[in-house]
Amino acid sequence: MSPVRAATAPDGVLYRIGYSLDPLAWPPWDYVGAGRFDDPRRLFRVLYVAEQRRACFLEAISQFRPDPEALARLAHVSGTDEPMPSATVPREWCRNRSLATLVIQSERRWLDLRQFETREALRVELAQKLVELGLEDLDVSDVRGRNRELTQAIGRWAYEHEYQGIVYKSRFDDSLDCWAVFEGALVRPAPPPAPISQDDPDLRAAAQAFGLVV
């Protein structure tokens, strides 16, 4: 079996967008189970953070894009010169959230899904789950995909093998790195959280990439 690769903790801070009262708070138990690498048994919680501010904004505001069904309907509208309405990032979203930073302990183990060797190892370790899900293989598209039953099985496997979390590429941009931090991992807050301004350059860049108006 290929060796599983562990990631090295970044030298700098990681970023997280959360509710203003406490953006680094662990999610309420009622919401556990919806995230990509959440525990399917709902026994531990996960904080989703990123190495780059822009990655946080891309992940957070992607929800405001029109869904494919709406886009398909608009594509068939004819007989009008009116421009297509622009989707927006609500002002309330900015007002209710802030951007926090944290530092993770460098000596801990972090499962590195960015590495070929890790994915090949998991292909063996999770072979039964792949069969149960009717999947013929496991590759980059699967570990970044929308099949939560598979990605959460990866999260559970990592937790059971004493990893403190998972490092993976953003599904929106290969140059951006995201971290799923498991509850119990040793982390410490960095400088105090900052409010999110509608003029934030990373927010505006993410919105422009998605065709959203801030």
Express each pLDDT in 87-112 by its tens digit: 999 999 999 999 999 999 777 899 99
Express each pLDDT in 141-174 by its tens digit: 999 999 999 999 999 999 999 999 999 999 999 9
HSE-CB at 110 with a 13 A cutoff on CA atoms is: 26
Express each pLDDT in 122-137 by its tens digit: 999 999 999 999 999 9
3-class DSSP state for residue 24? coil
Confidence of residue 79 (pLDDT cuts 50, 70, 90): low
- pLDDT score, position 68: 87
For residues 14 and 50, the answer to whether their CB atoms sit within 8 Å is: yes
- pLDDT score, position 135: 95
Residue with tokens 């995201």: 178
Give the strand pairing for 97-104 and 194-195: antiparallel
Per DSSP, what are the bridge partners of residue 188? 103
Q: Distance between CA atoms of 189 and 25, rounded to whole angstroms?
A: 11
Q: Distance between CA atoms of 9 and 106, rounded to whole angstroms?
A: 5
- H/E stretch holding 168 reads strand 165-169
Confidence of residue 3 (pLDDT cuts 50, 70, 90): confident
Rg of the Cα atoms in the chain: 19
**Phi and psi at residue 196, to the nearest 5°:** -95, 120
pLDDT at 13 over 70: yes
For residues 111 and 167, the answer to whether their CB atoms sit within 8 Å is: yes
Query: pLDDT over 90 for what percent of the chain?
Result: 80
- pLDDT score, position 149: 97
pLDDT at 83 over 80: no
pLDDT at 84 over 70: no
Express each pLDDT in 26-78 by its tens digit: 999 999 999 999 999 999 999 999 999 999 999 999 999 988 888 888 777 76
Amino acid sitting at position 44: F
